[in-house]
Protein backbone atom coordinates (compact mmCIF):
# COMPACT_ATOMS: atom_id res chain seq x y z
CA UNK A 1 0.00 0.00 0.00
CA UNK A 2 2.73 2.50 1.01
CA UNK A 3 4.91 1.59 -1.99
CA UNK A 4 1.95 2.25 -4.28
CA UNK A 5 1.39 5.64 -2.70
CA UNK A 6 5.08 6.51 -3.13
CA UNK A 7 4.98 5.56 -6.85
CA UNK A 8 1.83 7.63 -7.35
CA UNK A 9 3.46 10.54 -5.58
CA UNK A 10 6.56 10.32 -7.79
CA UNK A 11 4.37 10.33 -10.90
CA UNK A 12 2.61 13.43 -9.63
CA UNK A 13 5.97 14.97 -8.89
CA UNK A 14 7.20 14.30 -12.43
CA UNK A 15 4.13 16.09 -13.83
CA UNK A 16 4.96 19.39 -12.09
CA UNK A 17 6.47 21.87 -14.60
CA UNK A 18 10.03 23.06 -14.02
CA UNK A 19 10.96 26.75 -14.19
CA UNK A 20 14.26 28.41 -14.88
CA UNK A 21 14.13 30.87 -12.01
CA UNK A 22 15.73 29.60 -8.80
CA UNK A 23 13.09 31.25 -6.59
CA UNK A 24 10.23 29.60 -8.46
CA UNK A 25 12.09 26.26 -8.42
CA UNK A 26 12.50 26.52 -4.66
CA UNK A 27 8.82 27.36 -4.16
CA UNK A 28 7.72 24.46 -6.38
CA UNK A 29 10.06 22.11 -4.51
CA UNK A 30 8.67 23.17 -1.13
CA UNK A 31 5.08 22.78 -2.33
CA UNK A 32 5.80 19.34 -3.77
CA UNK A 33 7.56 18.23 -0.58
CA UNK A 34 4.58 19.36 1.52
CA UNK A 35 2.13 17.56 -0.77
CA UNK A 36 4.27 14.40 -0.71
CA UNK A 37 4.37 14.44 3.10
CA UNK A 38 0.58 14.82 3.26
CA UNK A 39 0.08 11.81 0.97
CA UNK A 40 2.48 9.63 2.97
CA UNK A 41 0.67 10.54 6.19
CA UNK A 42 -2.65 9.29 4.81
CA UNK A 43 -3.74 5.66 5.02
CA UNK A 44 -6.72 3.97 3.42
CA UNK A 45 -7.76 0.38 4.00
CA UNK A 46 -10.85 -1.76 3.67
CA UNK A 47 -12.43 -4.91 5.06
CA UNK A 48 -15.35 -6.74 3.42
CA UNK A 49 -17.41 -9.78 4.42
CA UNK A 50 -19.20 -11.44 1.48
CA UNK A 51 -21.11 -14.72 1.79
CA UNK A 52 -23.40 -17.34 0.34
CA UNK A 53 -25.83 -18.66 2.99
CA UNK A 54 -28.19 -21.63 2.87
CA UNK A 55 -30.43 -23.18 5.51
CA UNK A 56 -33.31 -22.46 7.89
CA UNK A 57 -33.64 -19.02 9.48
CA UNK A 58 -36.64 -18.08 11.66
CA UNK A 59 -38.77 -20.85 10.12
CA UNK A 60 -37.99 -19.70 6.58
CA UNK A 61 -35.66 -21.18 4.00
CA UNK A 62 -32.57 -19.09 3.34
CA UNK A 63 -30.74 -19.25 0.01
CA UNK A 64 -28.81 -16.08 -0.80
CA UNK A 65 -25.62 -14.34 -1.72
CA UNK A 66 -25.14 -11.33 0.51
CA UNK A 67 -22.91 -8.58 1.85
CA UNK A 68 -22.56 -9.22 5.57
CA UNK A 69 -20.48 -6.14 6.34
CA UNK A 70 -18.00 -3.73 4.83
CA UNK A 71 -15.63 -1.13 6.24
CA UNK A 72 -13.60 1.63 4.59
CA UNK A 73 -11.12 3.42 6.86
CA UNK A 74 -9.24 6.66 6.30
CA UNK A 75 -6.46 7.72 8.66
CA UNK A 76 -4.26 10.78 8.74
CA UNK A 77 -1.24 11.41 10.94
CA UNK A 78 -1.26 15.15 11.72
CA UNK A 79 1.91 14.94 13.81
CA UNK A 80 3.92 12.42 15.79
CA UNK A 81 1.29 12.52 18.55
CA UNK A 82 -1.95 13.55 16.85
CA UNK A 83 -3.98 11.53 14.33
CA UNK A 84 -7.55 11.05 13.10
CA UNK A 85 -9.56 8.07 11.94
CA UNK A 86 -12.75 7.91 9.89
CA UNK A 87 -14.40 4.51 9.23
CA UNK A 88 -17.51 3.96 7.12
CA UNK A 89 -19.68 0.97 8.03
CA UNK A 90 -21.37 -0.52 4.96
CA UNK A 91 -24.24 -2.96 5.38
CA UNK A 92 -27.42 -4.29 3.78
CA UNK A 93 -30.54 -2.44 4.94
CA UNK A 94 -33.07 -5.04 6.13
CA UNK A 95 -35.82 -2.72 7.42
CA UNK A 96 -38.10 0.14 6.34
CA UNK A 97 -38.73 1.65 2.93
CA UNK A 98 -35.05 1.30 1.93
CA UNK A 99 -35.01 -2.45 2.61
CA UNK A 100 -32.58 -4.16 0.27
CA UNK A 101 -30.39 -1.11 -0.33
CA UNK A 102 -26.74 -0.97 0.62
CA UNK A 103 -26.47 1.72 3.28
CA UNK A 104 -23.47 3.53 4.70
CA UNK A 105 -23.02 4.96 8.19
CA UNK A 106 -20.16 5.96 10.46
CA UNK A 107 -18.48 3.37 12.67
CA UNK A 108 -15.53 5.44 13.91
CA UNK A 109 -14.78 9.14 13.66
CA UNK A 110 -12.30 10.26 16.28
CA UNK A 111 -9.25 12.26 17.19
CA UNK A 112 -6.42 10.27 18.78
CA UNK A 113 -3.63 11.69 20.90
CA UNK A 114 -0.66 9.48 21.80
CA UNK A 115 1.07 10.24 25.11
CA UNK A 116 4.63 9.46 26.10
CA UNK A 117 5.15 6.36 28.22
CA UNK A 118 4.82 6.98 31.94
CA UNK A 119 4.98 4.80 35.04
CA UNK A 120 3.75 1.33 34.00
CA UNK A 121 1.84 2.60 30.96
CA UNK A 122 3.25 1.95 27.48
CA UNK A 123 1.95 3.60 24.30
CA UNK A 124 -0.95 5.29 26.13
CA UNK A 125 -3.45 7.05 23.89
CA UNK A 126 -6.71 8.96 24.13
CA UNK A 127 -9.64 8.86 21.66
CA UNK A 128 -12.41 11.49 21.48
CA UNK A 129 -15.46 11.36 19.19
CA UNK A 130 -17.07 8.22 17.80
CA UNK A 131 -14.61 5.85 19.45
CA UNK A 132 -13.78 2.25 20.33
CA UNK A 133 -15.55 0.85 23.36
CA UNK A 134 -13.15 -1.20 25.49
CA UNK A 135 -14.24 -4.78 24.91
CA UNK A 136 -15.05 -5.95 21.39
CA UNK A 137 -12.01 -4.65 19.53
CA UNK A 138 -9.83 -6.57 21.99
CA UNK A 139 -11.80 -9.84 21.64
CA UNK A 140 -11.81 -9.63 17.83
CA UNK A 141 -8.00 -9.51 17.83
CA UNK A 142 -7.99 -12.95 19.52
CA UNK A 143 -11.04 -14.43 17.77
CA UNK A 144 -10.50 -13.36 14.12
CA UNK A 145 -13.85 -14.68 12.81
CA UNK A 146 -15.96 -11.54 12.68
CA UNK A 147 -16.54 -12.61 9.06
CA UNK A 148 -18.71 -15.43 10.45
CA UNK A 149 -20.73 -13.20 12.76
CA UNK A 150 -20.76 -11.04 15.87
CA UNK A 151 -18.85 -11.84 19.03
CA UNK A 152 -20.66 -13.36 22.04
CA UNK A 153 -21.70 -10.28 24.06
CA UNK A 154 -22.76 -8.35 20.97
CA UNK A 155 -24.69 -11.28 19.55
CA UNK A 156 -26.48 -11.70 22.89
CA UNK A 157 -27.66 -8.09 22.55
CA UNK A 158 -25.62 -6.70 25.47
CA UNK A 159 -23.33 -4.16 23.78
CA UNK A 160 -21.59 -3.22 20.56
CA UNK A 161 -18.16 -2.03 19.52
CA UNK A 162 -18.30 1.77 19.13
CA UNK A 163 -20.04 4.79 20.62
CA UNK A 164 -19.78 8.55 21.05
CA UNK A 165 -17.52 9.29 23.99
CA UNK A 166 -13.97 9.22 25.30
CA UNK A 167 -11.58 6.25 25.56
CA UNK A 168 -8.17 5.92 27.23
CA UNK A 169 -6.10 2.85 26.32
CA UNK A 170 -2.60 1.63 27.13
CA UNK A 171 -0.30 -1.37 27.11
CA UNK A 172 1.18 -2.39 30.45
CA UNK A 173 4.90 -2.77 31.12
CA UNK A 174 6.25 -2.44 27.59
CA UNK A 175 5.76 -4.86 24.69
CA UNK A 176 6.27 -8.55 24.07
CA UNK A 177 9.35 -9.30 21.97
CA UNK A 178 9.24 -9.18 18.19
CA UNK A 179 9.44 -12.97 17.86
CA UNK A 180 6.23 -13.48 19.87
CA UNK A 181 4.40 -10.80 17.92
CA UNK A 182 5.35 -12.40 14.59
CA UNK A 183 4.61 -15.99 15.63
CA UNK A 184 1.48 -15.49 17.72
CA UNK A 185 -0.25 -12.09 17.85
CA UNK A 186 0.96 -8.52 17.36
CA UNK A 187 -2.28 -6.91 18.60
CA UNK A 188 -2.44 -5.60 22.18
CA UNK A 189 1.10 -6.93 22.80
CA UNK A 190 1.56 -5.47 26.29
CA UNK A 191 4.20 -7.41 28.19
CA UNK A 192 2.03 -7.54 31.29
CA UNK A 193 -1.29 -6.88 29.56
CA UNK A 194 -3.34 -3.86 28.54
CA UNK A 195 -6.26 -1.73 29.62
CA UNK A 196 -9.00 0.45 28.18
CA UNK A 197 -11.55 2.62 29.96
CA UNK A 198 -14.01 5.30 28.90
CA UNK A 199 -17.34 7.08 29.17
CA UNK A 200 -20.01 6.82 26.45
CA UNK A 201 -23.56 7.78 25.50
CA UNK A 202 -24.43 4.08 25.77
CA UNK A 203 -26.63 3.46 22.74
CA UNK A 204 -23.86 2.53 20.33
CA UNK A 205 -22.77 4.04 17.05
CA UNK A 206 -26.01 3.24 15.20
CA UNK A 207 -28.54 4.60 17.73
CA UNK A 208 -29.65 8.03 18.89
CA UNK A 209 -29.16 8.85 22.55
CA UNK A 210 -32.58 8.51 24.19
CA UNK A 211 -31.69 9.75 27.68
CA UNK A 212 -29.15 11.97 29.40
CA UNK A 213 -27.19 9.25 31.23
CA UNK A 214 -23.65 8.17 30.44
CA UNK A 215 -22.13 4.69 30.72
CA UNK A 216 -18.71 3.83 32.12
CA UNK A 217 -17.02 0.81 30.56
CA UNK A 218 -13.61 -0.69 31.16
CA UNK A 219 -11.32 -3.61 30.41
CA UNK A 220 -8.24 -4.77 32.32
CA UNK A 221 -6.13 -7.55 30.81
CA UNK A 222 -3.21 -9.15 32.65
CA UNK A 223 -0.47 -11.36 31.20
CA UNK A 224 0.88 -12.95 34.40
CA UNK A 225 3.68 -15.08 32.93
CA UNK A 226 5.22 -13.21 29.96
CA UNK A 227 8.30 -15.46 29.95
CA UNK A 228 7.01 -18.97 30.69
CA UNK A 229 3.42 -18.69 29.35
CA UNK A 230 3.35 -15.57 27.16
CA UNK A 231 0.07 -16.48 25.44
CA UNK A 232 -1.95 -16.73 28.65
CA UNK A 233 -4.08 -13.69 29.54
CA UNK A 234 -6.89 -12.98 31.99
CA UNK A 235 -9.36 -10.16 31.39
CA UNK A 236 -12.00 -8.41 33.45
CA UNK A 237 -14.59 -6.45 31.47
CA UNK A 238 -17.26 -4.20 33.02
CA UNK A 239 -20.01 -1.74 32.18
CA UNK A 240 -22.00 0.48 34.53
CA UNK A 241 -24.78 2.85 33.51
CA UNK A 242 -28.23 2.90 31.97
CA UNK A 243 -29.93 1.31 28.99
CA UNK A 244 -30.56 3.64 26.06
CA UNK A 245 -34.30 4.30 26.47
CA UNK A 246 -36.32 7.11 28.03
CA UNK A 247 -36.97 4.83 31.03
CA UNK A 248 -33.20 4.54 31.64
CA UNK A 249 -33.16 0.96 32.97
CA UNK A 250 -30.06 -0.29 34.76
CA UNK A 251 -27.20 -1.70 32.74
CA UNK A 252 -24.55 -3.35 34.88
CA UNK A 253 -22.25 -5.99 33.40
CA UNK A 254 -19.34 -7.99 34.80
CA UNK A 255 -17.44 -10.41 32.62
CA UNK A 256 -14.37 -12.60 32.97
CA UNK A 257 -12.35 -13.82 29.99
CA UNK A 258 -9.43 -16.26 29.87
CA UNK A 259 -7.42 -16.73 26.69
CA UNK A 260 -4.42 -18.74 25.57
CA UNK A 261 -2.59 -18.33 22.26
CA UNK A 262 0.44 -19.91 20.65
CA UNK A 263 1.57 -20.35 17.05
CA UNK A 264 -0.97 -23.10 16.25
CA UNK A 265 -3.70 -22.99 18.91
CA UNK A 266 -6.09 -20.41 20.39
CA UNK A 267 -8.46 -21.11 23.28
CA UNK A 268 -10.83 -18.72 25.07
CA UNK A 269 -13.53 -18.95 27.71
CA UNK A 270 -15.83 -16.12 28.79
CA UNK A 271 -18.49 -15.80 31.48
CA UNK A 272 -20.78 -12.82 32.06
CA UNK A 273 -23.39 -11.76 34.58
CA UNK A 274 -25.47 -8.66 33.93
CA UNK A 275 -28.59 -6.69 34.71
CA UNK A 276 -30.16 -5.15 31.63
CA UNK A 277 -28.25 -4.35 28.45
CA UNK A 278 -26.80 -1.36 26.63
CA UNK A 279 -29.78 -0.71 24.35
CA UNK A 280 -32.31 -0.96 27.20
CA UNK A 281 -34.32 -3.82 25.65
CA UNK A 282 -33.80 -6.34 28.47
CA UNK A 283 -36.66 -4.89 30.56
CA UNK A 284 -40.28 -5.43 31.58
CA UNK A 285 -43.11 -3.01 30.78
CA UNK A 286 -42.22 -0.79 33.76
CA UNK A 287 -38.60 -0.46 32.67
CA UNK A 288 -37.11 -2.84 35.26
CA UNK A 289 -33.98 -4.48 33.93
CA UNK A 290 -33.85 -8.28 33.80
CA UNK A 291 -30.86 -10.24 34.98
CA UNK A 292 -29.03 -12.36 32.44
CA UNK A 293 -25.90 -14.44 32.35
CA UNK A 294 -24.05 -16.74 30.02
CA UNK A 295 -20.79 -18.19 28.80
CA UNK A 296 -18.92 -18.75 25.58
CA UNK A 297 -15.99 -20.96 24.56
CA UNK A 298 -13.90 -20.63 21.39
CA UNK A 299 -11.09 -22.71 19.86
CA UNK A 300 -8.95 -22.43 16.74
CA UNK A 301 -6.41 -24.99 15.55
CA UNK A 302 -3.86 -24.41 12.79
CA UNK A 303 -3.40 -27.68 10.88
CA UNK A 304 0.17 -26.67 10.09
CA UNK A 305 1.26 -28.31 6.85
CA UNK A 306 -1.85 -26.94 5.12
CA UNK A 307 -2.97 -23.28 5.06
CA UNK A 308 -6.13 -24.33 6.90
CA UNK A 309 -7.50 -23.62 10.36
CA UNK A 310 -10.31 -25.39 12.19
CA UNK A 311 -12.47 -23.34 14.56
CA UNK A 312 -15.53 -23.76 16.73
CA UNK A 313 -17.54 -21.77 19.28
CA UNK A 314 -20.30 -22.52 21.75
CA UNK A 315 -22.51 -19.81 23.34
CA UNK A 316 -25.05 -20.22 26.13
CA UNK A 317 -27.30 -17.41 27.44
CA UNK A 318 -29.81 -17.49 30.29
CA UNK A 319 -32.22 -14.57 29.93
CA UNK A 320 -35.97 -13.88 30.28
CA UNK A 321 -38.34 -16.04 28.25
CA UNK A 322 -39.42 -13.29 25.83
CA UNK A 323 -35.83 -12.34 25.01
CA UNK A 324 -33.68 -15.43 24.57
CA UNK A 325 -34.65 -17.80 27.40
CA UNK A 326 -31.90 -20.43 27.75
CA UNK A 327 -30.61 -20.09 24.20
CA UNK A 328 -27.49 -21.69 22.86
CA UNK A 329 -25.48 -21.53 19.66
CA UNK A 330 -22.87 -23.72 18.00
CA UNK A 331 -20.52 -22.45 15.31
CA UNK A 332 -17.95 -24.62 13.58
CA UNK A 333 -15.97 -24.52 10.38
CA UNK A 334 -12.73 -24.40 8.48
CA UNK A 335 -10.81 -21.34 7.24
CA UNK A 336 -8.37 -21.06 4.34
CA UNK A 337 -6.00 -18.15 4.75
CA UNK A 338 -4.56 -16.55 1.64
CA UNK A 339 -2.62 -13.41 0.83
CA UNK A 340 -1.88 -11.99 4.26
CA UNK A 341 -5.06 -11.77 6.38
CA UNK A 342 -7.62 -12.56 3.69
CA UNK A 343 -9.57 -15.75 4.35
CA UNK A 344 -12.21 -18.07 2.94
CA UNK A 345 -14.49 -19.67 5.55
CA UNK A 346 -16.92 -22.58 5.34
CA UNK A 347 -19.03 -22.93 8.49
CA UNK A 348 -22.22 -24.08 10.17
CA UNK A 349 -24.12 -21.74 12.52
CA UNK A 350 -26.80 -23.54 14.54
CA UNK A 351 -29.05 -21.71 17.03
CA UNK A 352 -31.30 -23.38 19.61
CA UNK A 353 -33.55 -20.56 20.82
CA UNK A 354 -35.03 -22.33 23.87
CA UNK A 355 -32.30 -24.89 24.51
CA UNK A 356 -34.85 -27.63 23.85
CA UNK A 357 -32.88 -29.56 21.20
CA UNK A 358 -34.87 -28.09 18.28
CA UNK A 359 -31.93 -26.13 16.78
CA UNK A 360 -34.46 -24.31 14.61
CA UNK A 361 -31.90 -22.05 12.89
CA UNK A 362 -29.23 -23.90 10.91
CA UNK A 363 -27.23 -21.90 8.39
CA UNK A 364 -24.52 -23.33 6.16
CA UNK A 365 -22.25 -20.61 4.87
CA UNK A 366 -19.35 -19.91 2.56
CA UNK A 367 -17.89 -16.50 3.40
CA UNK A 368 -14.88 -14.54 2.29
CA UNK A 369 -13.07 -11.80 4.17
CA UNK A 370 -11.27 -9.33 1.92
CA UNK A 371 -8.72 -6.91 3.37
CA UNK A 372 -6.76 -4.28 1.49
Does the pLDDT value for residue 75 go beyond 80?
yes
In a domain, 213, yes or no: yes
Q: Exposed, middle or buried, 194 (CB in 10 Å: 0-12/13-18/19+)?
A: buried
In a domain, 45, yes or no: no
In a domain, 25, yes or no: yes
In a domain, 135, yes or no: yes
- Do 84 and 162 lie in one domain? The reply is yes
Does the pLDDT value for residue 129 go beyond 70?
yes
- Do 187 and 226 lie in one domain? The reply is yes
What per-residue confidence (pLDDT) applies to 37? 55
- Do 36 and 93 lie in one domain? The reply is no
- Do 15 and 73 lie in one domain? The reply is no
- Do 136 and 232 lie in one domain? The reply is yes
- Do 185 and 91 lie in one domain? The reply is yes
- Do 128 and 254 lie in one domain? The reply is yes
Which of the four pLDDT bands, split at 50, 70 and 90, describes residue 91? confident
In a domain, 337, yes or no: yes
Query: How much of the chain exceeds pLDDT 70, in percent?
Result: 87
Condensed to tens digits (0 to 9), the pLDDT of residues 11-28 reads: 333 444 444 444 445 455
- Do 10 and 147 lie in one domain? The reply is no
Which of the four pLDDT bands, split at 50, 70 and 90, describes residue 9? very low
In a domain, 34, yes or no: yes
226: containing domain = 50-371
Does the pLDDT value for residue 116 go beyond 50?
yes
- Do 23 and 85 lie in one domain? The reply is no
In a domain, 24, yes or no: yes
| Distance, CA of 129 to CA of 110 (rounded, Å) | 4
| Distance, CA of 153 to CA of 272 (rounded, Å) | 8
- Do 238 and 99 lie in one domain? The reply is yes
- Do 54 and 21 lie in one domain? The reply is no
What per-residue confidence (pLDDT) applies to 14? 41
- pTM comes to 0.87
Condensed to tens digits (0 to 9), the pLDDT of residues 53-63 reads: 999 988 889 99
Mean predicted confidence (pLDDT) in 329-354: 93
In a domain, 260, yes or no: yes
- Do 16 and 144 lie in one domain? The reply is no
CATH of the domain at 359: 2.40.160.10
- Of 175-184, 218-227, 349-358, give the lowest mean pLDDT range: 349-358
Total tally of structural domains belonging to the chain: 2
Amino acid sequence: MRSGVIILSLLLLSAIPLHAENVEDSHASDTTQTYLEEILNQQTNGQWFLAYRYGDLEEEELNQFTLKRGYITFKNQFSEKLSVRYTQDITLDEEGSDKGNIEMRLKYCYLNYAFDDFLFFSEPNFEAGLVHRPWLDFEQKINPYRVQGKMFLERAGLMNSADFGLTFSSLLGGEMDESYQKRVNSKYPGRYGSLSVGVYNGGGYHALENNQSKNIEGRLTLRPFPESLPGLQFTYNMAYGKGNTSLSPDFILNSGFASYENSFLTLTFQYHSARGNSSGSYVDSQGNAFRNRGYSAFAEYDIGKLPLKLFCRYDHVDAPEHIHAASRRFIGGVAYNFYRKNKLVVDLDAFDRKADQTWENRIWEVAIEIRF
